[in-house]
Chain A
Amino acid sequence: MTIRNFTRREFLRDTAATGGAAAIAGSGGKAWAVPAAADPPVPTQHRVTIRLNGTERALQLDPRTSLLDALREQLYLTGTKKGCDMGACGACTVLLDGKRVNACLVLAARLDGREVKTIEGLADGDQLHPLQAAFIEHDGFQCGYCTPGQIMSAAGLLNEGRPLDEHSIREWMSGNICRCGAYPNIVSAIRQASGRA
């Protein structure tokens, strides 16, 4: 028997493929992600090509797949988090053509030719993006689950070229909820990054 070092994620992915852990790996997806035998037939697969973090990625997917599920379940980019899956929490925030959107509310099938940036594409090699560095410096998180969404939302905010003070940062970051309540530190991290980003 070959001995291999598995990461937890590879383990889940590989066992899911053989069916062993389908219930675990599939539980994060929408109900259509893992159709049971009794479900209606899966519709025609759609092909789209998106520019993801600077690289062209061709996808073949059920047209009902959200961008969030496509990122997490097909491309294994799990940095983008699934919180509410209904546009209420902001944990899945990504940049679509440079603009902030909730990835759970966008069908991947409509994104042919569009540009998507996720948390995985923010750093420049080993050089953290100033926002990432500032979140670490200011402890802009506790559990960390909302953090990729917070950082991507802040990255979008810095692109929008608005004048930013504490009040306006809170206003423009209102689409991102942090249930640990790290807001004061998130605001100071963004203030710092806005000065040097």
Chain B
Amino acid sequence: MYFRPTTIDEAIGALASQGGRILAGGTDFFATQGDRPVLGPVLDISAIDALKGIRVEADQIRIGACATWSEVIAADLPPAFDALKAAAAEVGGWQIQNLGTIAGNLCNASPAADGVPPLLALDAAIELAGPAGTRRLPLDQFILGPRRTALAPGEMVVAILVPRRFEDARSHFMKLGGRRYLVISIVMVAAQVALDLQGRVAGARVAVGSCSAVACRLPALERALLGVAAGAGLAGLVRTEHLAPLRPIDDVRATALYRLEAAQTLIGRALDACLSEPAHA
């Protein structure tokens, strides 16, 4: 009914023998539960040391499945992670950030998950463990749709892996909600820009959330920005046709049309913010 293993192998074994919902930070687990009783088995992964913490390795940065938003905010990470840190600071209040995990945010697979656009811009991959061993999936192949992931039966997320390719890039995250705090995003944007020595764009990565079933990158925009002299700003280069991958919907929070306009504006602001910010605040 309730099992709290201390190793990944024990957890995989429990998933195979009795199944169960995985509980990490609990911030989505209990919110989606509402007043209904928890009836099925619960696999609490909070005592598994191998899932904890954030480690800088030779060629990647490993964010353990139990790493919390506040641990990401406090971690010493390159400027390319500033967008992820800014997103972390927008997820609920500090109490939520002390409990909730980034990996849980991905597994919950909300179209409005604030952690997804920054991790897409970082080319993050997900390490999964299951009865057949471990495998690795790019983030855009892990989240398949609203509340739907590529987790196979008996599998669990072990870590989020970010390649150390873009460490010098500057990054920025912008979120629009109906109010300043504790709000579900209407649109959010993560942008990452690297400049060459002449001040031209050497690499740009832009991801938008809450405007499609799964947050997505804007490859046409990223290509259009390559080689551009950044001195005069980048916001004016964002065109409507660059937003083609977005499929916003009308819902209680905003209309599709408003989302598209807001996305275009926020993308421009986030790109320009990457140019003006110091390497490390």
Contact = CB atoms under 8 A, between A and B. Distances in A.
Contacts of B181: 171, 174-175
Contacts of A107: 2, 23, 26, 44
A20 B30 CA distance: 30
Contacts of B182: 88, 174-175, 177
Interface residues of B, number: 31
Name B's interface SS.
loop
A85 B94 CA distance: 17
Interface string B40-56: 00101011000000000
B4 A106 contact: no
Interface string A77-94: 000000001111010010
B49 to A, nearest CB: 14
A138 interface: no
A186 to B, nearest CB: 14
Contact of B93 (A30, A39, A90): A90
Interface in A94-118: 96, 99-102, 104-107, 109-110
Given A31-B36, A63-B2, A105-B99, A100 B94 contact: yes
Nearest to B183: A174
B2 A87 contact: no
A101 B2 contact: no
A64 B29 CA distance: 12
Contacts of B281: none
A45 to B, nearest CB: 10
A64 B95 contact: no
A30 B39 CA distance: 12
Contacts of B278: none
Given A66-B30, A174-B93, A110 B37 contact: no
A57 interface: no
Interface of A: 30-32, 35, 39-40, 43-44, 46, 63-64, 66, 85-88, 90, 93, 96, 99-102, 104-107, 109-110, 153, 156-157, 171-177
Interface of B: 1-2, 4, 23, 25-27, 29-31, 34-39, 42, 44, 46-47, 70, 92-96, 98-99, 180-182
22 contacts: A40-B39, A43-B2, A64-B42, A66-B30, A86-B31, A88-B31, A88-B92, A96-B98, A100-B94, A102-B27, A104-B30, A105-B26, A105-B29, A107-B44, A110-B4, A110-B46, A153-B95, A174-B93, A175-B93, A175-B96, A176-B93, A177-B182
